[in-house]
Amino acid sequence: MVDEEVSPSPSAAGFGHVPVMASRCIELLRPAITAENDSGAGAVFVDGTLGLGGHSEQFLSVFPELRLIGLDRDPNALAIAGDRLARFGDRVTLVRTRYDGIGDALVSAGLESTGSVTAALFDLGVSSMQLDEADRGFAYSVDAPLDMRMDPTSGITAADVLNTYSHGDLARILKTYGEERFAGKIASEVIRQRERAPFTTSAELVELLYRTIPAATRRTGGHPAKRTFQALRVEVNSELDSLSAAVPAALDSLALGGRAVFMSYQSL
């Protein structure tokens, strides 16, 4: 029997984030977490995409003896989630890493890298906090530096991709990661524009896309920037490479009878 819809905790509004489909995630992972007892005692839950800690907060509230290992590459998110989850004390261990680093994270938490996890959750893609932070460059609705790094301290930026990649590589990532019909045309326009001046802000890219994508497509296909911004974000953060490593690592980490849930909002 599944509990009624889980209500947002009193702290959810204060941290600006209410987790998506929390009740469904709890429903799917409950059989593993409560296999030994209803409180989750002895169970280990890995939140592979901790973000602001909304999902983890729900799990820790519903299962009062559950242990959490929370992973995120974004130091800002980890700091906020740490404050949000502080009331749960030593039941919480937070580790700064990409989600494909689950094995090493478990070892650092004093667990085995395989067979030690009861339940795992991965909420893929960009977080609401990252979209809300204008200076991160994830949102095409706000002019900002073309960064898009989930870890703002390392790696290439979206501007680096636009200003240095060849025509062929630009077209490939736009087609593969953005499923963009006009990938070749957009790549050509990017090369032409960067010869005059390098890309630095999201507004420059959005303006190019409005010029490049036909008006008929813009009227029926949503915002003309959405596919290009998705493609750049996936490339900058090596999201698919990370996911291809994270899935087997997560499955290897599961104990007998363990479960993992992966949430995605795109078709890649």
Is the domain of 223 the same as that of 257? Answer: no
Is the domain of 125 the same as that of 245? Answer: yes
Q: Is 142 part of a structural domain of the chain? A: no
pLDDT at 171: 99
For residue 129, give the amino acid letter.
M
Q: Name the most confidently modeled range: 6-20, 56-70, 123-137, 220-234.
A: 56-70
Q: How many CA atoms lie within 13 A of 208 on its CB side?
A: 24
Is the domain of 101 the same as that of 188? Answer: no
Is the domain of 105 the same as that of 44? Answer: yes
Q: Is 143 part of a structural domain of the chain? A: no
pLDDT at 3: 34
Q: Is 141 part of a structural domain of the chain? A: no
CATH assignment at residue 232: 1.10.150.170
CATH assignment at residue 108: 3.40.50.150
Whose CA is closest to 37, among 15, 63, 58?
63
Is the domain of 196 the same as that of 251? Answer: no
Is the domain of 113 the same as that of 161? Answer: no
pLDDT per position as a tens digit, 164-193: 999 999 999 999 999 999 999 999 999 999
Give the DSSP per-residue string, 17-45.
---TTHHHHHHHHHHHHTSS-TT-TT-EE
Is the domain of 86 the same as that of 174? Answer: no
Say which residues have a Cβ less than 8 Å from residue 26's Cβ, sequence separation at least 6: 2, 3, 6, 58, 59, 62
Q: 13 pLDDT band (50/70/90 cuts)?
A: very low
Q: Is 94 part of a structural domain of the chain? A: yes
Q: Is 230 part of a structural domain of the chain? A: yes
Q: Is 92 part of a structural domain of the chain? A: yes
pLDDT per position as a tens digit, 59-108: 999 999 999 999 999 998 999 999 999 999 999 999 999 989 999 999 99
pLDDT per position as a tens digit, 194-248: 999 999 999 999 999 999 999 888 777 789 999 999 999 999 999 999 999 999 9
**Domain total in the chain:** 2
pLDDT per position as a tens digit, 95-121: 999 989 999 999 999 999 999 999 999
Q: Is 268 part of a structural domain of the chain? A: no
Is the domain of 19 the same as that of 64? Answer: yes
Give, as one character, the DSSP assignment of residue 256: E
Whole domain around residue 186: which residue ranges?
152-236
Give the DSSP per-residue string, 78-126.
HHHHHHHHGGGGGGEEEEES-GGGHHHHHHHTTS-SSS-EEEEEEE-S-
- Assess contact for 131 and 138: CB atoms under 8 A: yes
φ/ψ of 158, rounded to 5, equals: -65, -35
Helix axes 75-85, 54-62, angle to 10 degrees: 30
pLDDT at 127: 61
pTM for the full predicted model = 0.82
Is the domain of 15 the same as that of 122? Answer: yes
Is the domain of 48 the same as that of 112? Answer: yes
Q: Is 139 part of a structural domain of the chain? A: no
Is the domain of 199 the same as that of 163? Answer: yes
267 pLDDT higher than 80: no
